[in-house]
Amino acid sequence: YWVTCDNTVGTAKSYITYSDNAVSFSSGNDCVWCKDVINIDMNATFKAYLSGSGVATEAYCGGVTMGKTFTKEGMANLVCDNPSSSYTLTLDGYFQISSYGGFRFGSSTQPITRTNKFILNRVSPTVGTGTNTGFFSLYRRTSSGYFRGKMSALMYGEYAGKEYGVLAQNANISQNQIVLTEDLSSHWNVNDWICIGKFDYGGSVTTISSWHQIQSISGNTITLKTNLASYNRLAGGIVINRSIYGIDITGGYQGYFHMNLGTPSHLEIHGVSSYELQIGLTNGSSYMQAYSQPENSTKWDISHNCFWSDSTSYYQLIGSASFAPPKGFIFQYNNCNRIASHYTLSIVNNRVFKSGFIEGKYNNYLALYNVGINYNTGSSAVKIDFQNNIFQGAAMGQGL
């Protein structure tokens, strides 16, 4: 069931599609719909098309129909398993996810390795006037929230045993070496990109926080390819590495990479390095979300990732007015640079269930100029538990 336009434009409101014809794929030319499991085993671009009469904005590059089973893995018809080399999947437009459909990149038992990275890239649609690209739950429009969600959104990438280090001593902008409290040479590599926190600056860091590339590692000492930029760094500064993950999300420089998921049955993101990703877990001011029965849903889990931007603008990972499902939502062991993980943390209810709980633990936040919790008690019934997070170069404001 393919919605082609909203309720105010166009004459062809929707199509019902069906096909059992086996077809070949031409990268950059085809809009891909996954009725059965499709495994990404090559570099591929899913091509955007305008979907129907009267539609000049919304471009679609494909979608996933309902999976064969209601299990977490069984819903996913778009997958990338055991890539033999590094593959890039480029989305050129909206990729729709049906209820009880989904995508899975890697698996919990066999994550995608750093050697054979899976790269998820977005480009602005090549047709239409819209600029948004990414994964969207049917129906995407804000005028109807009833059918959104219930899908399976799974990403499993490898991550290093040590995802961050700590400065053992001060480092000045005139030098290209930093000394850590431990030897990370068995976890980090030459040419990795790192960002160094604890700026020696009297306020929130509103300039671009600098990324530096590793030239060499010898014991606790890391030599950079360039001198430290922006500010001196102080002992105790957190040093994060964005290059040590099995999945990379790119293309955010053309606008957010969107994952507008509504209320998924299963949401697990591990081992991902993401540039300006935004995850939508509600439908604007429409809170009439569908949610799976308890026997067909699990706790949301976003852990061991790096979410980053190099922009002076303010970016957010989880948008405002999100849901916390009854089984809970945990966000832990993530490194965030110039990305607020939860912006205006106002957890809302819907007509089916009261929100559960949300946990944020052991995360590192570098160079934020908005941080805090704006808890909307008027629309929330939820437990919020944030502990043991580190903030460096941050000021109190509207996000977390």
* pLDDT tens-place string over residues 371-384: 555 555 445 566 77
**Edge-to-edge order in the sheet of strand 364-366:** 44-46, 87-91, 118-122, 247-250, 272-275, 306-308, 335-337, 364-366, 390-392
Yes or no: say if 186 and 205 are a contact pair by the CB < 8 Å rule: no
- Does residue 151 or residue 291 have the better pLDDT? 151
Determine the length of the chain. 400
**pLDDT of amino acid 166:** 98
- Express each pLDDT in 252-271 by its tens digit: 777 788 898 878 889 999 99
**Closest to 278 measured CA to CA, from 299, 295, 259, 294:** 259
**pLDDT of amino acid 371:** 53
Q: What span, in angstroms and rounded, lies between the C-alpha atoms of 147 and 137?
A: 8
pLDDT of residue 362 exceeding 70, the answer is yes
**pLDDT of amino acid 157:** 97
pLDDT of residue 11 exceeding 60, the answer is no
pLDDT of residue 82 exceeding 80, the answer is yes
pLDDT of residue 51 exceeding 80, the answer is no
pLDDT of residue 12 exceeding 70, the answer is no
- Express each pLDDT in 199-240 by its tens digit: 888 766 666 678 999 999 999 999 999 999 888 999 999 999
**pLDDT of amino acid 78:** 96
Question: Which of 6-10, 19-23, 320-324, 332-336 bottoms out in mean pLDDT, i.e. has the lowest?
Answer: 6-10
| Bridge partner list, 309 | none
Q: Which position has the token pair 């300006």?
A: 276
> DSSP readout, 160-214?
-S--EEEBSS-B-TT-SEEEBSS--TTT--TT-EEEE--BS-SS---SPPPEEEE
- Does residue 241 or residue 347 have the better pLDDT? 241
By CB atoms closer than 10 A (0-12, 13-18, 19+), residue 301 is middle
By CB atoms closer than 10 A (0-12, 13-18, 19+), residue 26 is exposed
pLDDT of residue 285 exceeding 60, the answer is no
Yes or no: say if 308 and 277 are a contact pair by the CB < 8 Å rule: no
Residue 37: partners with Cβ closer than 8 Å, 6 or more residues away = 76, 77, 78, 79
pLDDT of residue 308 exceeding 50, the answer is yes
Report the 10 Å Cβ neighbour count for 311: 15
Q: What span, in angstroms and rounded, lies between the C-alpha atoms of 176 and 240?
A: 16
* Parallel/antiparallel/unpaired status of strands 164-166 and 118-122: unpaired
Residue 254: partners with Cβ closer than 8 Å, 6 or more residues away = 122, 123, 124, 131, 133
**pLDDT of amino acid 33:** 86
pLDDT of residue 398 exceeding 60, the answer is no
| Bridge partner list, 339 | 315
> Is residue 288 helix, strand or coil?
coil
Q: How confident is the model at residue 98 (pLDDT cuts 50, 70, 90)?
A: confident
**pLDDT of amino acid 56:** 74
Q: What span, in angstroms and rounded, lies between the C-alpha atoms of 249 and 266?
A: 20
Q: Residue 244 is which amino acid?
A: I
Tokens of 346: 């106002």
Mean pLDDT of the chain: 83
**pLDDT of amino acid 65:** 87
| % the chain with pLDDT above 70 | 78
Q: Residue 379 is which amino acid?
A: S
**pLDDT of amino acid 145:** 45
pLDDT of residue 147 exceeding 60, the answer is no
- Does residue 240 or residue 356 have the better pLDDT? 240
- Does residue 355 or residue 199 have the better pLDDT? 199
**pLDDT of amino acid 167:** 98
Kindly list the distances between the CA atom of residue 94 and the CA atoms of 74, 128, 131, 245, 258, in Å, as whole numbers in the listed order. 22, 12, 10, 25, 9
Q: What span, in angstroms and rounded, lies between the C-alpha atoms of 157 and 305?
A: 9
Yes or no: say if 104 and 76 are a contact pair by the CB < 8 Å rule: yes
| Arithmetic mean of pLDDT, 162-179 | 96
Distance of CA 261 to the CA centre of its chain: 11
| % the chain with pLDDT above 90 | 44
